Structure 1
Amino acid sequence: MLTAAQIRAARALLGWSQPALAAAAKLSLPTIVRMESQQGPGRSAAANVEAVQRALEDAGVCFIAPEGSGGGGPGVRLKHG
């Protein structure tokens, strides 16, 4: 499951604004704002979380799961071009 921090970090790596992510994921801006808030994506519909993840991955983001981070927790990075 994605975290709010991962979504914010992924956007930062891409230089995307919240409206840009909303457009790429075909979701409303309030949905993106809510997913990045303290409530996090866990309160969103699974299809919305998948849409955000897919949009970010299509743009070149790799999500790092907590168990794959060497003890550093969940994270993000850009794919090698």
Structure 2
Amino acid sequence: MPHAKILLPAQCRGARGLLNWSQGELADKAGVSRSTVKDFETERHALHHSTERLLIEALETGGAVLIPASETGEPGPGVRLKTTID
């Protein structure tokens, strides 16, 4: 069974930056409040699993690829944009 994806605050900020989305845009696309995104990204609180899934789905649908940390911990988690081949 595959591991559930985990979204880190820095990945969320980075993905929004790559997609050129504001916190409000991500919130709208994910169906959550802007304060939820803001509080998560500033590490004021963790996300419920269902909210985390909504954010991940919105970011991935928008074109972000969330890169998990490797099993050894290196090189670490990250984010990139999907590439399209015409």
- What TM-score, normalized to structure 2? 0.84
Q: Which has the higher helix share?
A: 1
**Cα distance, 1:79 vs structure 2:** 0.6
Aligned residue number for residue 14 of structure 1:
19
Alignment of 1:1-80 (within 5 A): 1-39=6-44, 43-67=46-70, 71-80=74-83
Question: Which structure has the larger Rg?
Answer: 2
Equivalent residues, number: 78
Tell me how large the CA RMSD over aligned residues is: 1.5
- What TM-score, normalized to structure 1? 0.89
Give 5+ residue unaligned stretches, structure 1: none
Give 5+ residue unaligned stretches, structure 2: 1-5
Instruction: State the distance in 2 between where 1:35 and 1:24 align.
Output: 16
